[in-house]
Amino acid sequence: MRKYEEKISDNSIWVSATPTAVAKTLPLYVSEAGHFMADSDYITKRETHDSFLLLYTLKGEGSVLTGDTAFNLPRGYAVIIDCHSPHEYKSVTDRWEFLWIHFGGSAAKAMLEIAYPSGSVRAADMANAPDFEELVNGIIEEARQNDIESYLHLSSHMHSVFNAVCLGALESDNASIKHNSAEDVQTVVKFIERNYFNPITVEDMIECIHVSKYHFIRRFRRVMGVTPYSYLTNYRINKSKTLLRTTSKSVSEIAEICGFMDTSNFISHFKKHTGVKPTQYRRDFT
């Protein structure tokens, strides 16, 4: 007689950790977790489930379908999926051994977008995160506890898991593109740093690297986390903050020095990025 009805062995681990109201106030919390030794005909298929899910293969291989994206999850690879959309994962070998964590929290969706900024969910090689398995096992074990201290630990450890998966996904991306592409992004970053005070367009940025505008914007966003124009605006805002705090120059002078089209444009961007107008920012720091 099987311990579980799902196609998993008796020595599999399944921990239910229904989050309390306190746990749900944290950025990340765990609701279920486990270590499964699954048979060849194991499959989980859902239209929706109110959580996010981490899967990490220890032995064998599984396959994952989320939305319209399908991929295999071999040994040493991890993925995080949004279970609010249709999804499926199953064995593709005689035995698939994997760790899994269902979780939620106010930070979950935002961090998922960092891991997969274009929405293209894929397996991440965790070879450069040697402590990843130990970290996930620790979360599964601590999920058995039910006190505030364990909730805080779990939230922090899940954040570390997200960081590792994000880095693994980014490294997988870098391995799949030409080395020159990453160098192109750094070339443009240096161009922005040298020319931020001048009017700059995306066309100006790519003039010296000779790639298509579409390809460049996509690659820049994957490496830097924002579009080229957003990076330029943020760089200008940071420069203006220094001038507001360390000089007596007027707001209009600072706007011109930092490359904004006019004073009103500067004030609008500054408030959007910081929540306050430049004059208020200056008062807060003087």
**190: enclosing H helix or E strand:** helix 179-195
Q: What is the pLDDT at residue 116?
A: 82
Residue 144 φ then ψ, to 5°: -70, -25
pLDDT tens column, 42-96: 999 999 999 999 999 999 999 999 988 999 999 999 999 999 999 999 999 999 9
pLDDT, tens only, 92-137:
999 999 999 999 999 999 888 888 876 778 899 998 888 999 999 9
Mean pLDDT of the chain: 90
Terminal Cα-to-Cα distance of the chain (whole angstroms)? 73
* Dist. CA 219–CA 213, nearest whole Å: 10
**Section 210-230 average pLDDT:** 84
**DSSP codes, 116-156:** STTS----EE-TT-TTHHHHHHHHHHHTT--SHHHHHHHHH
Q: Which domains are assigned to the chain?
A: 13-176 (2.60.120.280), 179-284 (1.10.10.60)
| CA neighbor of 221 nearest in space, from 212, 230, 208, 233 | 230
Q: What percent of the chain has pLDDT over 90?
A: 69
Residue 258: φ, ψ to 5°: -90, 5
pLDDT value of position 226: 86
Q: Rounded to an integer, what distance in angstroms lies between the CA atom of residue 132 and that of residue 245?
A: 42
Contact 48, 84 (CB under 8 A): yes
Ramachandran region, residue 225 (left: φ > 0; alpha: ψ -120 to 50; beta: rest): left
The model's confidence at residue 3, banded by pLDDT at 50, 70 and 90, is very low
pLDDT tens for each residue of 125-177: 998 888 999 999 999 999 998 889 999 999 999 999 999 998 888 776 655 55
